[in-house]
Amino acid sequence: MTRPGETAVVWDDALCAYDFGPAHPMDPVRLELTAALARSFGLFDLPRVRLISAPVADGSVLETIHDPVFVQAVRDASAAGLNPSAEERTHLNRWGLATPEVPIFPGMDEASARLVGGSIAAVTEILEGRCERAVSFSGGMHHAKSGFAGGFCVFNDAAAAIAAALAAGEERIVYLDLDVHHGDGVEQIFWNDPRVTTISIHQSGDTLYPGTGFIQDSGGPAAPGTAINIPMPAGTRPEDWLRAIDGAIDPLIRAIRPTLLVTQHGADSHSIDPLADMDLTIEAQRAAMLMCRDLATTAAGGRWLALGGGGYSVADVVPRSWTHLVAVVLDADIDADAPIPEEELQRMRDGAHRTGAVPPRAFTTMGDGSEPVFRPWSAGFNPEHPVDRLVQSVRRAHFPEWGLDPLYD
């Protein structure tokens, strides 16, 4: 029997072993700092929290979404260690491994499989009725494809969690990706599965990795209308990003009425993230989390799995954004102007120093000091606004497939 109000939170210090080395943008200090900041606000100690660890997913789990030969290649990469031979490197490059993007390291197979295990453990709490919601901020490795690593992602934990839910009998799953980069791996894995609708709002592939995720993409022949992309222009402001979510994503999820909502909350859409060009704030990211919570509650029967994702301003943006994520999933919202304890500020400064990343500005609160206000789509379409034209194009391309009128719904 599901216990309303209980939420599973995945945390395990061993998750920090997913570490590509000191010069790599995806430094695990972002996970360490998030867990510490969440603890400082008492989130892990709330009586309704089920704090669970992240086991290492075994090969049979990984192979539900990944080619067995690729899984073996990751094991080979782990065995090769930091200095593979030329022959080993040539072999591993075929799978997207041993590259500047996805360097290899000893223990890589176990560390990558633990991320999958964490997200599987989280969704299992929902599937087995121990809670309605779960959050695994170490997950969200959305670029990994069935037979190829990429975008700092080795195994695709989001897809593995969705596959586990399908195996348990879920009828309709919506995967919503809010990362600044297109959720290409999850889309590819479920491209032809009518039970899974992937929705990704991201900086356009015309200007950002991985160069995919356009409006005309719509799913495979057995699953038309189940791949939905909203490619936003570089420099998108909070009010336009939130208006796009309101105008395109909200009506679609309400029409689909998933039995499970899975969301990915990459923090790299922030204005100071070094690897992208959006102009969002912590407050905008938090507003989107609140919108996801409302959709989970009103359109998905309350069943919600929230994941982390990208985020390369590792000491100042990611910990704040994902602490808000944990709080929102727990119904323990933190005000954006809430002060950060001095001990945690020092921990963030130390984390930035360790990684060589200098925070670009001083901050002492959980927000950026700018609460977004957006014009809801119901207020009317503005044909002179480029983002409105983009959203209307998405609506025209995808709404009819779900029984919605692109002009009025």
Name residue 9's beta-bridge partners. 51, 135
Dump pLDDT digits (tens) for 224-260.
999 999 999 999 999 999 999 999 999 999 999 999 9
| Lowest-confidence pick of 151-155, 224-228, 346-350, 401-405 | 346-350
Q: Packing angle between helix 68-80 and helix 86-93, nearest 10 degrees?
A: 150
Residue range(s) defining the domain that contains residue 225? 7-402
Confidence category of residue 364, pLDDT binned at 50, 70, 90: very high
Strands 227-232 and 49-52: unpaired
Q: Note whether residue 408 is domain-resident.
A: no
Q: Note whether residue 342 is domain-resident.
A: yes
Query: For this structure, is 142 an active site residue?
Result: no
Q: Which two tokens stand for residue 302?
A: 């309350």
The pair phi, psi for residue 150, each rounded to 5°, is -175, 160
Confidence category of residue 283, pLDDT binned at 50, 70, 90: very high
Q: Note whether residue 123 is domain-resident.
A: yes
Q: Note whether residue 280 is domain-resident.
A: yes
What is the mean predicted confidence (pLDDT) over 344-355? 92
Q: Domain count for the chain, please give it.
A: 1
Q: Note whether residue 409 is domain-resident.
A: no
Buried residues in 252-264 as b, exposed as e (16+ CB within 10 A): bbbebebbbbbbb
Identity of the residue numbered 149 = A
Q: Which of 143, 181, 270, 324 is catalytic?
A: 143
Buried residues in 199-213 as b, exposed as e (16+ CB within 10 A): bbbbbbbeebbbebb
The pair phi, psi for residue 145, each rounded to 5°, is -100, 180
> What does the alpha-carbon distance between residue 358 and residue 362 come to, in Å, rounded to a whole number?
10
Q: Note whether residue 250 is domain-resident.
A: yes
Query: Which domain CATH number covers 34?
Result: 3.40.800.20
Does pLDDT of 356 surpass 90?
no
pLDDT (0 to 100) of residue 359: 64
Does pLDDT of 182 surpass 90?
yes
Q: Note whether residue 1 is domain-resident.
A: no
Q: Note whether residue 174 is domain-resident.
A: yes
pTM of the shown model: 0.97
Q: Percentage of residues in the chain with pLDDT exceeding 90?
A: 95
Strand order in the sheet with 173-177: 49-52, 7-10, 133-136, 304-307, 260-264, 173-177, 196-203, 227-232
pLDDT (0 to 100) of residue 3: 56
